[in-house]
Amino acid sequence: MPNPSLLILPGDGIGPEVMAEVRKVIDWFGTHKDVSFDVTEDLVGGAAYDAHGVPLHDDTMAMAQKVDAVLLGAVGGPKYDELDFSVKPERGLLRLRKEMDLFANLRPAQCFDALADFSSLKTEIVSGLDIMIVRELTSGIYFGEPRGIMDDNEGGRVGINTQRYTTSEIRRVARSAFELAKKRNNRVCSMEKANVMESGILWREEVQWVHDNEYPEVELSHMYADAGAMQLVRKPKQFDVIVTDNLFGDLLSDAAAMLTGSLGMLPSASLGAPMANGRPKAMYEPVHGSAPDIAGEGKANPIACILSFAMALRYSFDMPQHADIVEGAVEAVLAQGIRTADLLGEEGKSPVTTSEMGDAIIAALGTS
Ligand code: NAI
Ligand code: MG
């Protein structure tokens, strides 16, 4: 087997700072576990614009299509705010998502015990929480036609958006969810509003079809999305993998993320169709942006980016035990009370820098 290939795109602002800490983890695997990755590094966002006049070079796009996984830091910043829309840093990210056709957005909500009191919910409700929300990303009401603001022919106006899902769009994201469930705890809960939306009826039928025909061994349940929202804050640990459409997924994944605390802790992945080697097209990235308010100050929390790499280990490289090691090191460091500034509520405690947090994680890895 060739080494897994990884394209690293640090991007702008704190992107390069947090990515430098991921590099330490990658190097640690090479030295201590004899696990090597074929890593290529390139530019995206404002950094690519500065070098090439475009937020993503064609050669970078071609490389992204070839590798087993892309790991992206963050793009954007005030320096680029005045740029023409077509070359804005975000366009680089959108081009990657679109041309790789990344239709399944994975947002874990995982609660590290040491941060359980950071949650807005009671500790016992969130401690040990580990759920995964799979949001359909490329279709649904954000894309459906017709759309627009039109005259209603009665002297007023009407705003229209259309929820539209095809059988194949539903089936492919359902497959992503079932595949994930097989790597986790074999449970999927699908959420829609089949009680009031025809697209929801089709969603429910097609998810059930994929289950019955392709993944009968995975446990499947269905829930109305509004009931799901209630259950998510009432008893979140009842869930493992949740699969839902673009709109409901947008809301549910943001709500679930906040069960567990800081933006600096949240990883994500976007997956597409399986490639020839069976691995899905994949891009991993922290949920946070380029944080221009703290960029260059060594204050950024690198954990979201390091956990994004751990997701790549688990879901692209089939190295779940290595993903466990990384997540275990993060847990250990947090348990020791080591905190970047974003994880410190009150004054008086002294935060560690980005690089010190990375070093602490490497030290914790050293004992695993
Ligand atoms: P942001 O996520 O960059 O920052 C929001 C707040 O969270 C800031 O106070 C920031 O300091 C803090 N924060 C974020 N990540 C952190 C980390 N790892 N450690 C510690 N603190 C952290 O969102 P914002 O300020 O709305 O956007 C800033 C720039 O980033 C904009 O140009 C925006 O377009 C871009 N952006 C890029 C994204 C991406 O690359 N995927 C996503 C969101 C925003
Ligand atoms: Mg959102």
Q: Report, as residue numbers or ranges, the catalytic residues.
A: 142, 193, 226, 250, 254
| 163: pLDDT strictly greater than 90 | yes
Indicate which residue's Cα is closest to atom 20 of ligand 1: 300
What are the pLDDT digits (tens) for 27-60? 999 999 989 999 999 999 999 999 999 999 999 9
| 348: pLDDT strictly greater than 60 | no
Q: Which residue has the higher pLDDT, 117 or 312?
A: 312
98 is in an annotated binding site: no
Q: What is the pLDDT of residue 297?
A: 97
Query: Ligand 1: which of 82, 90, 262, 290 to mutate, most ligand atoms within 8 Å of CB?
Result: 290
| 311: pLDDT strictly greater than 70 | yes
77 is in an annotated binding site: yes
E-strand stretches of 66-202: 69-74, 104-110, 130-136, 144-151, 157-162, 187-192
Percent of the chain residues topping a pLDDT of 90: 90
Q: Which residues pair with 305 in a beta bridge?
A: none
Q: What is the mean pLDDT of residues 164-189?
A: 97
Residue 363 burial by Cβ neighbours in a 10 Å radius (0-12, 13-18, 19+):
middle
Residue 208 burial by Cβ neighbours in a 10 Å radius (0-12, 13-18, 19+):
middle
- Quick one: which ligand is closest to 133's CA? 2
What are the pLDDT digits (tens) for 108-133? 999 998 888 778 888 899 988 999 99
Q: What is the mean pLDDT of residues 60-75?
A: 98
Q: What is the mean pLDDT of residues 237-249?
A: 97
Q: What is the mean pLDDT of residues 306-328?
A: 97
| 279: pLDDT strictly greater than 90 | yes
Q: What is the pLDDT of residue 347?
A: 59
Q: What is the pLDDT of residue 307?
A: 98
When the pLDDT of each residue in the chain is averaged and rounded to a whole number, the result is: 95
Query: What is the pLDDT confidence band of residue 167, given thresholds at 50, 70 and 90?
Result: very high
Query: What is the pLDDT confidence band of residue 366, given thresholds at 50, 70 and 90?
Result: confident
What are the pLDDT digits (tens) for 78-109? 999 999 989 999 999 999 999 999 999 999 99
Residue 212 burial by Cβ neighbours in a 10 Å radius (0-12, 13-18, 19+):
exposed
> CB count, 10 Å around CB of 334?
21
Ordered by where they begin, the domains of the chain are 1-110+262-368 (3.40.718.10), 130-258 (3.40.718.10)
Using the 8-state DSSP alphabet, how is residue 218 labeled? S
Q: What is the pLDDT of residue 367?
A: 64
Sign, CA dihedral 67-320-312-103, equals: positive
Give the predicted TM-score (pTM) of the model: 0.94
Using the 8-state DSSP alphabet, how is residue 299 labeled? -
Residue 244: closest CA among 252, 236, 254 = 252
What are the pLDDT digits (tens) for 191-226? 999 999 999 999 999 999 999 999 999 999 999 999
- Atom index in ligand 1 nearest the CA of residue 72 equals 40
Residue 89 burial by Cβ neighbours in a 10 Å radius (0-12, 13-18, 19+):
buried
Q: What is the pLDDT of residue 121?
A: 87
Q: Rounded to an integer, what is the distance from CA 303 to the centroid of its chain?
A: 13
- How far apart are the C-alpha atoms of 358 and 213, rounded to whole Å? 45
Protein residues whose CB sits closer than 6 Å to any atom of ligand 1 = 14, 18, 74-77, 90, 93, 263-264, 285, 288-294, 300-301, 304, 342
